[in-house]
A and B are shown apart, each in its own frame.
Chain A
Amino acid sequence: MSSPISYFFSCVFVIIAHGAMLFNAFQNGNYESVNDVITLCAAVIGLDAAYFIVMPFFKQRTYAVDFMLLLILNMSNIFQSCFGGVHLDLKHFITCIAALVSCRIGCIACRNHRWIQDKKKFVWVGIGVLMVVIFLFCGSRSMWIDLGFMTIQPSEFIKPLLVLACAASISEQQNKHKVLCFNVVYENLILFGIVAAVILFQWWCRDLGSIPTFAAIYASGFLLRICYPKAKFSKKTLIIAGSCVAVAGIVAVILAPPYVKDRLFVDIWSDPDGNGYQQSKALIGIAEGGWFGKGPGEGFLHNVFAYESDIVFATISEEWGLLYALMTVLMLLVIVAMPLVNPPRSYYHATMCAGVCAAFTVQMALNIFGSCNMIPFTGVTLPFISAGGSSMVTSGLMIGMIAAAQSPVFKNPKPKKSRKQAKRRTS
């Protein structure tokens, strides 16, 4: 277990960081009553304290990822609560707690890579079930399922499952089979089939923004597989795979629907009230915010559609300043870079961490560069910072995977009892 002194100082500095933000919101923020600020402070500091007390009960050897996650989640909580006026955003606060819970679940489930590797068929089935759910309840009509009191985006839940599927595929690399004149690993074919199906499905559902994330997860798994010694990967295969990806990319751009092509080549300043509305407003917001921002709750971007999700980077820049927005991004990069400090001890965990890192980096790049008009606007969420329950829960699960790789368990799963043995014992 990590030393109590380091644990104590981590707790203190997380509270100081949140305290400084809350004091800034109190001094410079736009609020109607001080009670709004007090409620926000109580929620943030209360969640910090509760997590510090609960964390040691999960007997881990490392806690840095958990502290980092808590730091980011409560930062996000403060940001979201300050947009358009300081008051606690209860919905976002609840989703933050859900993200912390899902992080714990992800961590516990993935600590023993041999156990989770054994469950890979359930992972495949999980992806299949989610695709059926999308087919039946979402399709090309909408990306969300409306349950009345909340909406769920099922495609988000495919991301952590895909990370696990990619990581699990690495164990079977030495089992090559001769098919015609090719040496084939069945596991790789299954994984490729799953990824192709997921990407085509997302295309059909018009959720094109999440395709790069799925592709990045698969690509990271693919690259790690090349580095995996047992795979005996040849340069020829790598060149063929690279060429196939390039051809697929060109074909995708040619066959893209008209509304996608519009976004690819849109000039936002010639159409500031149409296709370029959100991006032009986001850029104006970032420019007006400057380095130190207008002050929490003082911006105008909260009047623009998707200010709390798709252009959240611009909204933070406007109210808190570009410096703070960039530091938020830095925090996200630090949390996914934690495996560099404390490297994983198994290929499974290494592949899992690479998949999570790829997914987070691509999502961050799409969101930030998209809202700054450096790439086409996709509407992808910024992990943990954007509002949205499905995104928060899946991001929490994925960070839980990184936490699992930091304090792994190496135990063989219990052998499965055959039915005959079980019957004999009962009789």
Chain B
Amino acid sequence: MESMNLVLCAAAAAALDICALVLILASYSERRSERKAWSKISADMELADQNRSYALECDEILIGRHASADIRLPDMSVSRYHAMLNVTDGKWTITDIGSKSGIYVNGVHVQHVRLYDNDIITLGNRRLIFRKRRERN
């Protein structure tokens, strides 16, 4: 009887363990579907400069020189907290949050403007292109 008790307890514990594992795996699979949903919400856009591209994975993204910025541009012409990108229903907007050199979109000085595919954003001496995300090899 004692061994039976032990076996049943171990079996119940194992079942619980496996269940937790299955739920964690399910959560990972949901993460993929959630990513797909996010690419729909964010219109699958990205920011890119000459050297690299920046994924837009949050509904509110800060661009600046400061270490805590979501997209960090280590350039003295860029303010520490320069601009904020926001998305709603697939529409991205950029807002100046008190930068010194301002924001230029396609050469026009703006304070708050909606962004479209292939818009060129100038922050200080840095030029970024707002474009559809490209698959990386």
Contacts and interface: CB of A to CB of B under 8 A. Distances in A.
B118 interface: no
B15 A410 contact: no
A357 B59 CA distance: 22
Interface stretch (A137-145, A159-167, A186-194, A227-235): A227-235
B26 A10 contact: yes
B112 to A, nearest CB: 14
Given A9-B22, A345-B57, A174 B31 contact: no
Contacts of A406: 30, 34
A284 to B, nearest CB: 20
Interface string B11-52: 111111111101111111111011001100100000000000
Interface in A314-369: 320-321, 323-324, 327, 330-331, 334, 338, 341-342, 345-347
A269 interface: no
Task: Determine the main DSSP class of B at the interface with A.
Answer: helix
A151 interface: no
A254 B32 CA distance: 52
B48 to A, nearest CB: 21
Interface stretch (B80-88, B101-109, B127-135): B80-88
A61 B27 contact: no
Given A331-B16, A345-B57, A64 B9 contact: no
B17 A327 contact: yes
Range for the number of chain A residues in contact with chain B: 35 or more
B77 interface: no
A7 B19 CA distance: 13
B10 interface: yes
B89 A232 contact: no
B97 A323 contact: no
B22 to A, nearest CB: 4
A230 to B, nearest CB: 6
A1 interface: yes
Contacts of B30: 2, 6, 61-64, 342, 406
Contact of B16 (A17, A27, A64): A17
Contacts of A345: 38, 41, 57-59
A1 B97 contact: no
Contact of B62 (A14, A230, A293): A230
A341 to B, nearest CB: 5
A341 B33 contact: no
B13 to A, nearest CB: 5
A293 B2 CA distance: 11
Interface stretch (A18-26, A197-205, A380-388): A18-26
A17 B20 CA distance: 9
Nearest to B21: A13
Contacts, number: 156
B38 A292 contact: no
Interface in A227-261: 227-230, 232
Contacts of A324: 9, 12-13, 16
A338 B98 CA distance: 36
B84 A342 contact: no
Nearest to A337: B24
Interface in A1-51: 1-3, 6-7, 9-10, 13-14, 16-17, 19-21, 23-24, 27-28
Contacts of A338: 27
Contacts of B8: 20, 23-24, 27-28
A399 B129 CA distance: 40
Given A24-B12, A323-B13, A229 B23 contact: no
Nearest to A349: B59
Given A20-B11, A341-B31, A345-B57, A230 B97 contact: yes
Contact of A412 (B17, B68, B88): B88
Contacts of B17: 327
A75 B16 CA distance: 10
B97 A17 contact: no
Contacts of B87: 410
Nearest to A323: B13
A6 B59 CA distance: 28
A319 B57 CA distance: 47
A321 B10 CA distance: 10
Contacts of B14: 20
Contacts of A227: 68
Contacts of B98: 174
Given A14-B23, A71-B20, A412-B89, 10 more contacts: A2-B30, A3-B33, A6-B25, A10-B26, A20-B14, A64-B30, A227-B68, A229-B69, A323-B13, A334-B23
Interface of A: 1-3, 6-7, 9-10, 13-14, 16-17, 19-21, 23-24, 27-28, 61-64, 67-68, 71, 75, 114, 174, 227-230, 232, 292-293, 295, 320-321, 323-324, 327, 330-331, 334, 338, 341-342, 345-347, 406-407, 410-412
26 contacts: A2-B30, A9-B22, A16-B15, A16-B18, A20-B11, A20-B12, A24-B11, A28-B4, A28-B9, A63-B26, A64-B23, A64-B30, A68-B20, A71-B16, A229-B62, A232-B81, A293-B9, A321-B9, A334-B23, A341-B24, A341-B27, A345-B59, A346-B59, A410-B59, A410-B89, A411-B89
